[in-house]
Chain A
Amino acid sequence: MHKSKKISTFAQNLTIYNHIVKNIVVRFCGDSGDGMQLTGNMFAQLGAELGHEISTLPDFPAEIRAPQGTLGGVSGFQVELGSEVYTPGDKADVIVAMNAAALKVCTLGSHFNHPQAHFDDEFALYHRHAIVIVDTDSLSDKDLEKAQYHTENPFTELGIPESVQIVPVALTTLTKEALKESGMDNKSVLKCRNMFALGLIYWLFDEPMEKAIHLLEDKFKKKPALITPNTKVMVDGYNYGCNLALNISQIHLDGAPNEAHGTYTSIAGNKATAWGLIAAAQKAGKHLFLGSYPITPATDILHELAARKDMNVMAIQAEDEIAGICTAIGAAFAGDLACTTTSGPGLSLKSEALGLAVMAELPLVVVDVQRGGPSTGLPTKTEQTDLLQALYGRNGECPAVVLAASSSANCFDFAYEACKIALENMTPVVLMTDTYLANGTALWRIPKLAELPDIHPQSVPEELKGHYNPALRDERGVRYWAFPGMEGFEHRNIGLDRDAERGTISTNPENHEKMVRARQAKIAQIAERIPNLQIIKSANPQMSETLLVGWGSTEGHLHAAANELGCDLAQFNYICPLPKNTHEVLSRYKRIVVCELNTGQFATYLRAQFPELPIEQYNEIQGQPFAVERIVNYVKK
């Protein structure tokens, strides 16, 4: 089969001019062994270092290594960079497809398995004016067969519109050429293909190579032998763009970012969460303890904290999810800032122990990095379907604080806030993040510990020595924390209900009601200490009576949608308790559209709190972040 034939129909449509754009969406797409996550991350990080805002979306299969070249093994990494970046973008402007399967998945989107599917504006992962860079060496008959093509011409078969600029590059041949004198074996050479593609993308965006090389050296610092060959391939990719003057123009990103002045880095949500916990422990003067069991997509928090022994972090990989939370409860009983990290299935297993922490009134932070459910569900995909579980998924009247982070960077802030609330109010706090925030990266302004809010753990006052019992509360209704090692405060804590005065086991009917209400009141009073709900006002109000409502990770998408619609947005980070002004704010609007990646859990919760409000809901449950366009279309209809 002659490759040039397949692409000839597209070459004539390419136009040459220089783009200057405010932001751009790039998607790297290849086999799960092609290093797409690394490539995408390096590109995003360089963008961030050059002063662009970034938002990233890693999108990979649950299988670690699906059979090479198959549709099931396609791994993607999408990044939006520029200014006013709220999301990783609905659709890509530039696609790098490392093989035939990747080309198919990008073109057909979720319809890639449909035998007759063609390019469709709704499902394609790129625009009809996008640039698609494709490795022509990976379009052999065998490659096409593995990716379930039925004809020899993948472009025609996929019905790619002529407006799409296909850029054919013999990535494999060129990479081999670049490394022909390196003495490396074929397999190692092929592993560098991604760097050729990266170099080419750097050329496309006219990025400075000195910084790119510096970044590469940093990424490979633990494998120094790989620095030289990868640098060579990347530079060759860049030069290929310069020298061959591909029939596409370079793209220049313009516009200064909106962020405040400061020192920045790019950070993934899971790492930001881990660092928020570390910062809180140091601020509170507490030892940080993590009990956790590996589970996708939360495991990176365990990895990060296990590596942070320099920060005096004790991270234990427990024998199961239950032991993860129970070791943490043990550490909290002993006076530590204790945490456990998990995803939905793990939260289910931890339910009973979480109830114990509620009953024992111990500070505890539970991070739930949500994924698609129920059961094993979609382990590597994003969803907001654990909200009702976090709020209510325990036996008995069992209130706990529920918070949600709304960007990869503010995972840091809300992890910190979760610790502060737990330590100051002697309660478990469930922090909700999700796959999208956890794996995505964003620009993060690095704070100094001194500028973070003070944390005052609810330590028992010395004058209670000899008179202490675990039921004693302060004027807020928060019990005092005494722990082993403190002389004169010996006591017995329990999961059984306890006497409201003496703290010993009690089954008295009036006492039980009193204790149930005391535990609820303790959570309710936290509303006095959290910030009011702030509306994100539309700069260009066209639908001033409409309010979009969201919670957690959808903030970027809803912000972009609200901008486009000209309506206001209320994004919740505090779920239980809700901010004090919630009702007052919501009642200002005639139309309230609660948008969630579930079937309406927050909408249900809000209706239960405020039955008189006209709560409408918009939901997507596809394991993917929202598409801004679909929200806009729904609200407009």
Chain B
Amino acid sequence: MEASQFKSDQYVRFCPGCGDHAICMALQKAMAQIGIPTHQVAVISGIGCSSRMPHYLNTYGFNTIHGRGGAVATGVKTSHPELTVWQMSGDGDCFAIGGNHFIHEIRRNVDLNVCVFNNRIYGLTKGQYSPTSPKGFVSKSSPFGTAERPFIPAQLVLGARGTFYARTLDVDMPTTVDCLVAAQQHKGCSIVECLVNCVIFNNGTHAWIADREQRAEHSIILRHGEKMIFGKNNDKGLAVEIDPVSFVPKIIVVPADDPRVLTHDAHQPDPTLHRLLALMGQDRIENVNAVVENELPIALGVIRNVEEETYDQAVNGQIAAVREQAKAKTFDELTATLESWEM
């Protein structure tokens, strides 16, 4: 299929320069690459800039209310597992007002493809801090800097027993498309954290890696089965070291030819290493004033991708199993089983 088949007739109203434009295009490309017909795809969203996305995709779409996209999407997918269901959300929609639905769709492992557009700011309400804004971040609602510790989305996903987590960047189209396609291919709740720039209210929030000059040194793209190599000259690799005193494992940078360099295993059920990888480079995200030494690269790509039974399969499987054994399957057969009498 062609990306153009997934374009709706609506004028795309994201601000000029907004990272959401890129994700919109990536979604259309990924959907075309996946090749599921438009009428079998439903895109559900909540409220926020990112939640406008369904209007720009020529599929079934439902732009619901703030924070509730996950619950609505759970209803769509569970009742109709034959559909491909996407959820579009942002850092406020998913991690603040919709936090409960977010952790529970992950915990249940509903087979959804969830794109969380993380620009670390509330854009549609014009510039308040979000649950992913670094501590001390100055915004209209935090004129003296926030007093809050932020969420690190990956940690939240893994804490909720997530089976799929990918991180991508608005300016990296190929990685974004790869992550979206992998999310769709994964059976279960797939979370793709899209780091996007808000050109109006939080310009440059991801400049550390978005800047083309710096990206190769400050980020690493993880690919299942491949060695963890990065750097402008592909001269660095990642390895694990156990601290001899605390026994805490940590990731270290070693030369690319060091035999300790890790090979990425996204399918590993144990999330320990996925967590370490996802937390790399997050110190600067936690606190605006962080002074970081020996900073590790921020991991992009599919970090975790394991298979477990999905909620929609389990629920529908249970109904099918009961119905196979059931003697009464219709209302009249059901009432016939009642203790009743003639009058």
Contacts and interface: CB of A to CB of B under 8 A. Distances in A.
Interface stretch (B182-190, B246-254, B315-323): B315-323
Given A328-B75, A338-B75, A490-B58, A323 B37 contact: no
Contact of B330 (A262, A449, A488, A505): A449
Given A314-B79, A485-B83, A492 B55 contact: yes
A467 interface: no
7 contacts: A45-B339, A316-B315, A327-B71, A484-B42, A484-B83, A487-B37, A490-B38
A215 B343 CA distance: 18
A49, A326, A490 interface centre (most CB from chain B within 10 Å): A326
B54 A492 contact: yes
Interface stretch (A65-73, A352-360, A374-382): A352-360
Interface residues of A, number: 70
A312 B318 CA distance: 10
Contacts of A487: 37, 39
B261 to A, nearest CB: 42
A455 interface: no
Interface in A256-271: 257, 259, 261-265
Contact of A485 (B71, B80, B332): B80
Given A265-B340, A505-B55, A326 B39 contact: no
Interface in B269-292: none
A322 B64 CA distance: 13
A45 B40 CA distance: 50
Interface string B326-343: 101111101100111111
B226 interface: no
Please classify the interface of chain A as helix (H, G, I), strand (E, B), loop, or mixed, using the class held by over half of its residues: mixed
A320 interface: yes
Contacts of A328: 75
B76 A331 contact: yes
A326 B340 contact: no
Contact of B319 (A257, A314, A334): A314
Nearest to B326: A310
Given A263-B340, A264-B343, A320-B100, A309 B318 contact: yes
Contacts of B38: 490
Given A310-B326, A310-B334, A492 B63 contact: yes
A279 interface: yes
Interface stretch (A186-194, A222-230, A493-501): A493-501
A489 interface: yes
Contacts of B62: 330, 333, 360, 492-494
A483 interface: yes
B332 A330 contact: no
B82 interface: yes
* Pairs A-B, 7 closest by C-beta atoms: A330-B75, A326-B71, A327-B75, A310-B326, A492-B61, A309-B322, A323-B71
Interface of B: 8, 10, 37-42, 44, 47, 54-55, 58-65, 68, 71-80, 82-83, 100-101, 104, 315-316, 318-319, 322-323, 326, 328-332, 334-335, 338-343
A484 B76 contact: yes
Given A334-B76, A335-B80, A353-B68, A489 B55 contact: no
Interface in A354-398: 355-356, 360
A287 interface: yes
Contacts of B329: 310-312
Contacts of B319: 309, 312-314
A63 interface: no
Given A282-B331, A448-B332, A490-B58, A319 B78 contact: no
A282 B64 contact: no
Contact of B75 (A265, A326, A483): A326
A631 to B, nearest CB: 30
A244 interface: no
A334 B100 CA distance: 23
Contact of A318 (B54, B65, B71): B71
Contact of B76 (A218, A278, A310, A330): A330
A261 B341 CA distance: 11
Contacts of A11: none
Nearest to A328: B75
Given A291-B75, A330-B72, A483-B60, A319 B101 contact: yes
A51 interface: yes
A486 interface: yes
B10 A265 contact: no
A436 interface: no
B339 A218 contact: yes
Given A264-B343, A265-B338, A485-B82, A491 B39 contact: no
Given A322-B68, A505-B55, 6 more contacts: A262-B342, A265-B335, A289-B79, A447-B335, A484-B76, A487-B37
A446 interface: yes
B84 to A, nearest CB: 9
A336 interface: yes
Contact of B72 (A312, A329, A336, A352): A329
B338 A446 contact: yes
B61 A491 contact: yes
Interface string A579-615: 0000000000000000000000000000000000000
A310 B75 contact: no
Given A323-B100, A484-B83, A493-B61, A330 B339 contact: no
A504 interface: yes
A326 B315 contact: no
Nearest to A278: B331
Nearest to A259: B343
Contacts of A447: 335
Given A265-B340, A334-B76, A334-B79, A326 B322 contact: no
Contacts of A275: 331, 334-335
A505 B60 CA distance: 15
Contacts of B76: 330-331, 333-334, 484
Nearest to B338: A265
Contact of B331 (A261, A264, A311, A331): A311
A308 B323 CA distance: 9
B78 A314 contact: yes
Contacts of A278: 331, 334
A314 B312 CA distance: 11
Given A278-B334, A490-B38, A490-B58, A329 B63 contact: no
Contacts of A494: 55, 62-63
B341 A49 contact: yes
Contacts of B338: 265, 446
Nearest to B72: A330
Given A263-B342, A265-B339, A323 B74 contact: yes
A541 B8 CA distance: 68
Contacts of B77: 330
Contacts of A490: 38-39, 58-60
B333 to A, nearest CB: 9
Interface string A261-297: 1111100000000010011001000010101000000
B59, B60, B318 interface centre (most CB from chain A within 10 Å): B60
